[in-house]
Chains A and B, each alone.
Chain A
């Protein structure tokens, strides 16, 4: 096809100064994506500066394809920007929808994560400088409390701005609760593990916080079926501190909880809390009739 007043030459003409236009066949190949890579730059360079060839190119391009392309661009611009945690979850095989539900966990806001990290590294630093034989005691006391606080600020009317619409969504309340708790627990465990690395060697006792962290989180979650999350967290936290004081020999800074027997007892607590959670799962689906609030 020729247009009045011009001659369509081949690509070499197009690239040459003062030459003609890009041949229709070449443009068609370009649209269909069959043009050799070596010729691409020449065609694009010419089309960029030539309104007539651009018009010809538009005529040759199927409109549906551009609509599709445009809608993809539009969708990419609209869709949520994924944070690192969300991307990591998807990379691990979690569905993008579930990852989105997890990423919206109120406690995962940067403020909680930063605060948790600061507290743990301060604890590690203090422990390093302390004269106690068992420097991990402070970390043991603090680490399990972090996810407990995280759970407290992830549920309930007070901290979850979407409480009401989440409550009446078809997604089961316990599923959402477990997702959010797992997210909080994962972040807290990661931070505590990093803080443990900063401690002087004290063998397996360094990781003694892991079981109490799990047990306390489960206890708090199981309690939220019946009481306000803040109350649940406060009771659990107070109980933990009391237990720690009762089982620690302060002369040498050793806690019974670090021993095999202590850890076994904590596992029993964790299992009991998990059973309680399963038994009370229905209560996560509606607001309890009576909510104990502070």
Chain B
């Protein structure tokens, strides 16, 4: 069988033409991309189809149509699904816990679900993943007594049980305070070495800080696929600051220093500003722009 998603070396995850509909709502309208080692960011507004895409890749549900290849197997078949599950870690958007379990007990439960039946091996693995997320000293605390950031770390530890080659992280930094987010980015950047990490977010800072590659998804369509610097470059020479708001700007807001930051068409008497990834993202998603950039 041959199809465009057949992985070439370095493309450990390949999807082609994925579609998914929920009753009247189209979640994915023909999504194709490939991903290799390192952290690939999936950026997009709420409802863009990020979670649906990641849930399909995580084998939680099948698409309506399209092909998927993960580490050279087809997870849409029963055998391929099992093989994929054995080599994949998944952090769901809303990770759930048994609140009365301790962090250690919960990871133990997950390790059993991941078929680590040897007691000694399981213990070594539990201690390894808890150390990796910095929870060694809190492993005896009940999950209900942990802070939101610590729970998120428990969920990440659960995802990396068994040292999976592919990690799927659905909005891992949501709900974290700035310091926790920074710590999480360090963790994820480390995990991206030698692994495929697919991470969804609606935080442009996460993408500029972490990803070597960004895919922008909007209403079920890939609108951009390339390095973050290229997304930033879309806004080059299009960000201005001025005393007044430009009526034609895609986005304009008064900043803390009193001047207005305008993206898009410059107002009268404006100075050019260096563009950020967020500027590029806002311009890309501007309905009047309707650009589609695929590297």
Assess the A100–B139 pair: CB atoms within 8 A: no
Assess the A78–B97 pair: CB atoms within 8 A: no
B92 within 8 A of A: yes
CB distance from A226 to the nearest CB of B (A): 14
Assess the B62–A170 pair: CB atoms within 8 A: no
Cβ-defined partner of A78 (8 Å) among B64, B81, B139: B139
- Given A282-B78, A289-B64: A168 touches B140 (CB 8 Å cut-off): no
How many interface residues does B have (CB within 8 Å)?
Answer: 39
Assess the A289–B61 pair: CB atoms within 8 A: yes
B105 within 8 A of A: yes
1/0 per residue B153-184: CB within 8 Å of A? 00000100000000000000000000000000
Output the residue of B59, B99, B102 with the most chain A CB within 10 A: B59
B110 within 8 A of A: yes
The distance in angstroms between the C-alpha atoms of A211 and B139, with both chains bound, is: 45
Assess the B96–A160 pair: CB atoms within 8 A: yes
Assess the A170–B117 pair: CB atoms within 8 A: no
How many A-B contacts if CB must be within 8 Å? 89
Assess the B78–A285 pair: CB atoms within 8 A: yes
Interface size class on chain A is 20 to 34
Assess the B82–A164 pair: CB atoms within 8 A: no
A101 within 8 A of B: yes
Assess the B158–A165 pair: CB atoms within 8 A: yes
Assess the A170–B95 pair: CB atoms within 8 A: no
Assess the B96–A161 pair: CB atoms within 8 A: yes
Please give, as numbers and ranges, the residues of chain A lying within 8 Å of B55 by CB-CB distance. 287
Cβ-defined partner of B112 (8 Å) among A75, A101, A285, A289: A101
- Residues of chain B having any CB pair with chain A under 8 Å: 55, 58-62, 64, 78, 81-82, 85-86, 88, 90, 92, 94-99, 101-102, 104-105, 108-110, 112-115, 117, 119, 123, 126, 139-140, 158
A-B contact pairs, 12 of them (CB 8 A): A80-B104, A97-B112, A100-B109, A162-B97, A165-B110, A165-B113, A169-B110, A170-B115, A171-B114, A282-B78, A286-B61, A286-B81
Q: A169-B114, A170-B82 are in contact. List 10 more A-B contacts (CB 8 A).
A: A75-B123, A78-B140, A79-B105, A80-B108, A97-B117, A100-B109, A162-B96, A164-B92, A165-B96, A285-B81
- Residues of chain A having any CB pair with chain B under 8 Å: 75, 77-80, 95-97, 100-101, 104, 160-171, 282, 285-287, 289
